[in-house]
Amino acid sequence: MAQGSENRWQKDAADQNFDYMFKILIIGNSSVGKTSFLFRYADDSFTSAFVSTVGIDFKVKTIFRHDKRIKLQIWDTAGQERYRTITTAYYRGAMGFILMYDITNEESFNSVQDWSTQIKTYSWDNAQVILVGNKCDMEDERIVSTDRGKQLADHLGMEFFETSAKENINVKAVFERLVDIICDKMSESLESDPSSVINASSRIAGTRLTDQPKLLQQSSSSSCNC
């Protein structure tokens, strides 16, 4: 990573000036492009070299949405089976998941159902999930049609995007949509049961997004409950 961008990340991670913090996880089989997707979003960079992730790593990015400063803590998990015990331990407290497969890899698509079950087993009930078919730049090698992706997403009750970390297609759109549906869910949960979101996730998650001032403006400690 270039020195400048590294400094920016350090600054972002330490920055306490935000209205809300959302913990997001990227999950899916090894080599579907999770790390590449995060690097594209975070640094606008891409490399064709494959360095499989060991365990788990995260990046922080602060964005503006709904007139709020939202700090995203984005966890990039290892897809390899041998890290499963470590990675599922991080599901707790996640408000959003990007569940990724590779459109050129049938096995990664067939694993989506299992990943969805992992989310249900290890995360909070209200966690929001977007299904992502990555590597859509590789049309010549496509194995999973867009329709099959859409149908599976419908079946699992998720939204669906096809993306390319390489060509920067829909990467930002996925994160923005995920933030929007997390915000919608938070407002909905608070309307029906004001205590529900706070109990289930972090205190930041309990803040109403629609009409309140900065109720939970951060001071010194981190808001993440991971």
Nearer to Mg ion, 29 or 128 (CB): 29
The interface partner of residue 188, options being Mg ion, ligand GTP, none and the CB cut-off 5 to 8 Å by kind, is none
Footprint of ligand GTP on 62-91 (CB under 6 A): 78-80
**Count of beta carbons in the 10 Å neighbourhood of residue 29:** 21
Nearer to ligand GTP, 63 or 169 (CB): 169
Q: At what angle are helices 112-122 and 146-156 packed, to 10 degrees?
A: 30
Considering only the C-alpha atoms of the chain, give the largest distance between any 2 of them, rounded to a whole number of Å: 51
Contact between residue 53 and residue 86 where contact means Cβ atoms under 8 Å apart: no
Footprint of ligand GTP on 151-170 (CB under 6 A): 164-166
Which window, 45-53, 106-114, 149-157, 211-219, contacts Mg ion (CB under 5 A)?
Answer: 45-53
Question: What 3-state class would DSSP assign to 133?
Answer: strand
Residue type, 224: C
Minimum distance from residue 104 beta carbon to Mg ion (Å): 17
Reference 102, options 38, 170, 33; nearest CA is 33
Contact between residue 182 and residue 175 where contact means Cβ atoms under 8 Å apart: no
Nearer to Mg ion, 35 or 207 (CB): 35
**Count of beta carbons in the 10 Å neighbourhood of residue 110:** 13
Q: Does 118 bind Mg ion (CB under 5 A)?
A: no
Q: What tokens does 85 get?
A: 């015990």
Minimum distance from residue 144 beta carbon to ligand GTP (Å): 14
Minimum distance from residue 165 beta carbon to Mg ion (Å): 11
Residues that bind Mg ion (CB under 5 A): 34-35, 53
Residues that bind ligand GTP (CB under 6 A): 30-36, 47-48, 50, 52-53, 78-80, 134-135, 137-138, 164-166
